[in-house]
Amino acid sequence: MFRIGKEEIDAVARVIESRQLFRSNHANQEVVHFEAEWAAKMGAAYSLCVSGGTCALIAALVGLEIGPGDEVLVPGYTFMATATAVLAVGAIPVLVEIDDSLTIDPEDLVRKITAETRAIIPVHINGWPANMDRIMELARQHGLAVVEDACQSDGGSYKNKRLGSIGDVGCFSFNHYKIISAGEGGALVTNNKTAYERAMVYHDAGTQFRPYKDELSVPIFLGAQYRVSEIIGAILRVQLERLDGILADLHRVKHSIMSELAGAENISFIRSNDVNGDCCSVLGFSFANPSMAREFAKSDGVNGIVTIDSGKHVYANWDPLLEKRGGHCDAVNPFLMSRNQGLRCEYARDMLPQTLERLNRSVIVHMNPDWQDDQIELVANSCRQAALNLTQATHEQDLREGK
């Protein structure tokens, strides 16, 4: 969460004073307004607000009728929820390499598509747009659905289209760590009416509270309970008003630092699929080898993270998946379901060597939209100095090794 204040407090106070905290069935409600505003902002026909990004992914997959017997392609560098959402609907996640943009690698995607593949989940990790042109082209060629995981990229874009609005369904998170936040929360957007209605039915445990349940074109089935309260809706409406300002300031900060570092020794940025659409919440560096990355990340004033250390964002740490604990009991564990026998359920911690290799020598530095010139200068200087020191360290190493 970047910015929050008096406006959110006032919005929450209004909800409490109204004594209407539940998303009921009348149109003049915070959550209902937020959905319309989010859909308009994202350039999609429909939006559904749910209690988290994971819920949005699950509801999206349910919306697209993905389940047991289906393989879904997900990158090996993303928050674990991208893959576990696939298991939550009974389908099998198949892991795909990342390329030099650290987003899903279209070349490996092609290799991983089989007759059982139903969908691709590209992830706009760190606010960085995935290669949507290639992904959409492949999806069309092979008749696959595309669910964009835009949980880390609220408001970003790819070739002037909002991230999340390009595939069949786009999923967003508003948890504490995302670009806009209500502590928890999420949303999906789509132009597919059936997917929207199915997601709506699913998120509302049978839609008993919807006035328009009689107008649905899909049959009602049982689902989960992912509804959000009016308090979340009220906060999100204010956060949405802040979104453009946050993105503009992140852009200013990241691009100032990048231009200060342009041409500096040992500095190389992670390639972007669309520089203008980048949310700019994270600056990524690529180094020649892992020891340089590690040295740089821990240098004074850099506050970097070697991406391989991103915990549950790296597939090698997705224990429930790797150990095939895909459900709370055997009967609902997708790995044991009869319809999934014969799908690609084999995982290993070293199965994506290209991903591990890239993550081992990449460093991410988080940006802050409220940094002013002095802070920008400090970060840029720290990075420049840290990168310069690497040459010295490498030189000394070579001397020790007698090169």
Ligand X SMILES: *Cc1c(COP(=O)(O)O)cnc(C)c1O
Site for ligand X, rule CB under 6 A:
52-54, 78-79, 81-82, 123, 149, 151-152, 173, 175, 186
Q: 52 vs 76, which CB is nearer to ligand X?
A: 52
Q: Please, what is the minimum distance in Å from the beta carbon of residue 79 to ligand X? A: 4
Q: 274 vs 295, which CB is nearer to ligand X?
A: 274
Any idea what DSSP says for residue 180?
S
In the chain, the amino acid numbered 106 is P
* Residue 116, both tokens: 């059982």
Q: 176 vs 395, which CB is nearer to ligand X?
A: 176
Q: Please, what is the minimum distance in Å from the beta carbon of residue 73 to ligand X? A: 15
Q: Please, what is the minimum distance in Å from the beta carbon of residue 184 to ligand X? A: 6
Q: Where are the beta strands (DSSP E) in 44-180?
A: 46-50, 71-75, 92-96, 117-120, 145-149, 157-158, 161-162, 169-173
Q: 78 vs 165, which CB is nearer to ligand X?
A: 78
Q: 49 vs 306, which CB is nearer to ligand X?
A: 49
Q: 69 vs 164, which CB is nearer to ligand X?
A: 164
Q: Please, what is the minimum distance in Å from the beta carbon of residue 356 to ligand X? A: 19
Neighbours of 350 (CB within 10 A): 7
Q: 54 vs 299, which CB is nearer to ligand X?
A: 54
Q: Are strands 117-120 and 71-75 parallel, antiparallel or unpaired?
A: parallel
Q: 58 vs 292, which CB is nearer to ligand X?
A: 58
Q: Please, what is the minimum distance in Å from the beta carbon of residue 93 to ligand X? A: 13
Q: 177 vs 221, which CB is nearer to ligand X?
A: 177
Which residues share a beta bridge with 157? Answer: 162
Q: Please, what is the minimum distance in Å from the beta carbon of residue 52 to ligand X? A: 3
d(CA 224, CA 204) in angstroms, rounded, equals 6
Tell which residue, 184, 227, 190, has the closest CA to residue 206.
227
Tell which residue, 56, 214, 234, 15, has the closest CA to residue 150.
56
Tell which residue, 195, 191, 185, 178, has the closest CA to residue 227.
185
φ, ψ of residue 359 in degrees (nearest 5): -65, -30
Q: Are strands 145-149 and 305-306 parallel, antiparallel or unpaired?
A: unpaired
d(CA 312, CA 320) in angstroms, rounded, equals 11
Say if residues 103 and 120 touch (Cβ distance below 8 Å).
Answer: no
d(CA 188, CA 173) in angstroms, rounded, equals 9
d(CA 74, CA 95) in angstroms, rounded, equals 5
DSSP three-state, residue 344: coil
Q: 235 vs 376, which CB is nearer to ligand X?
A: 235
Q: Please, what is the minimum distance in Å from the beta carbon of residue 10 to ligand X? A: 25
Q: 153 vs 266, which CB is nearer to ligand X?
A: 153
Q: Please, what is the minimum distance in Å from the beta carbon of residue 103 to ligand X? A: 11
Q: Please, what is the minimum distance in Å from the beta carbon of residue 145 to ligand X? A: 17
Residue nearest to ligand X (CB): 53
Q: Which helix (H) or strand (E) holds 282?
A: strand 282-286
Q: Please, what is the minimum distance in Å from the beta carbon of residue 365 to ligand X? A: 17
Say if residues 328 and 384 touch (Cβ distance below 8 Å).
Answer: no
Q: Please, what is the minimum distance in Å from the beta carbon of residue 126 to ligand X? A: 9
Q: Which helix (H) or strand (E) holds 193?
A: helix 193-203
d(CA 107, CA 174) in angstroms, rounded, equals 31
DSSP three-state, residue 96: strand
* Residue 250, both tokens: 């992140």
